[in-house]
Structure 1
Amino acid sequence: MNINGRVVIGEQVDLETRCAHFHKDIDRIAIKFYCCNQYFPCYQCHSQHGCGQLRRWPQTHFNEKAILCGTCGFELSINQYLGCASECPNCQSSFNPGCNAHTHLYFEVDRHT
């Protein structure tokens, strides 16, 4: 799926980056994976269609744009996303707060913060 000029790879990806694994109305982000520099809706899509070498974003790279809003196509830096994970700062579309449970899969963060 192409979202604002960025390719999002995954299982049954829709126009707002929802996939077969996460498809609620508020599931509308894609994450650029550090290991392959490609966008996927979730870790399961990366596992099925990605590079097979999952690597998390190191904290030294948290200023890089790696989150794509599926509603407006705005790219957020990891710091922006972690600071406002409830909605897009560009279009104010809600993000799924449950995604916070998976941040440790994508980013080098402490699971208890």
Structure 2
Amino acid sequence: MAHSLTVKGIGVDDETRCAHYHSENDRIAIKFFCCGIYYPCFECHQAVGCGNPKVWPKERFDEKAVLCGACGHELTVQEYLDCSSSCPVCSAGFNPGCSLHKHLYFG
């Protein structure tokens, strides 16, 4: 495992892929604003999370909330939104389709 943080979800592997999203580039986890716990996706949070989903407010986009499953680097929300196609540290690719769901995580 490239990181020591706990990532909750269903069928989570060492690079944070889950039962819902498990392609080669599905390797991030999001720290949910509501509970402060990392999950691979909104579906995992819905299944085993706190039951009270809340998105990150824009005024807190400078806080670390995205985990690269390849190297364990934590990105701030803004860093992730600015470079969402790959990790700025290890260059591992991120799934560009995640941008379709950003409204579920970030305000």
TM-score, normalisation: structure 2: 0.98
SS at match of 1:76: strand
Query: What is the CA–CA distance in structure 2 between the aligned matches of 1:21 and 1:4, rounded to whole Å?
Result: 21
What is the aligned partner in structure 2 of residue 111 from structure 1?
A: none
Match of 2:61 in 1: 62
Structure with bigger RCO (C-alpha 8 Å, 6+ apart): 2
Match of 2:16 in 1: 17
Give the paired residue count: 107
| Unaligned residue ranges in structure 2 (runs of 5+) | none
| Local SS of the residue matching 2:55 | coil
Q: Partner residue of 2:83? A: 84
Structure 1's unaligned 5+ residue stretches are 109-113
Q: Secondary structure at the match of 1:56?
A: coil
Show CA shifts across 1:13-67 (max 9, x none): 0010000000000000000000000000000000001000000000010000000
The residue identity in structure 2 corresponding to 1:30 is: A
Amino acid corresponding to residue 64 of structure 2 in structure 1:
K
RMSD (Å), alpha carbons: 0.9
Report what 1:34 is aligned to.
33
Corresponding residue SS for 1:31? strand
